[in-house]
Amino acid sequence: MEIPALVGAGIVVIGVGMGIGRIGGSAMDAIARQPEAYGKIQTAMLIAAALIEGIGFAALFAV
């Protein structure tokens, strides 16, 4: 485990955190605007979050 690899993984995790945070925030906005579409928004949010999360894990396991 070299230090550049660890720093790189850290940067990826920051990016993943920001990405999932944005998805969650946008989903909140959308639900507040259209509470009746709660189920559909949540599903779409989870799929997008899961896809980004995969990248984060790939980075962590590459270290």
Rule CB under 8 A: which residues touch another protein?
A: 39, 43, 46-47, 50-51, 53-54, 57-58, 60-61
Is residue 56 within 8 A of residue 16, CB to CB? The reply is yes
Residue number, 13 or 30, with CB nearest to another protein: 13
DSSP H or E stretch at residue 56: helix 38-62
Residue number, 28 or 51, with CB nearest to another protein: 51
Task: Give the CB-side neighbour count of residue 49, counting CA atoms within 13 A.
Answer: 16
Closest distance between another protein and the C-beta of residue 50, in Å? 5
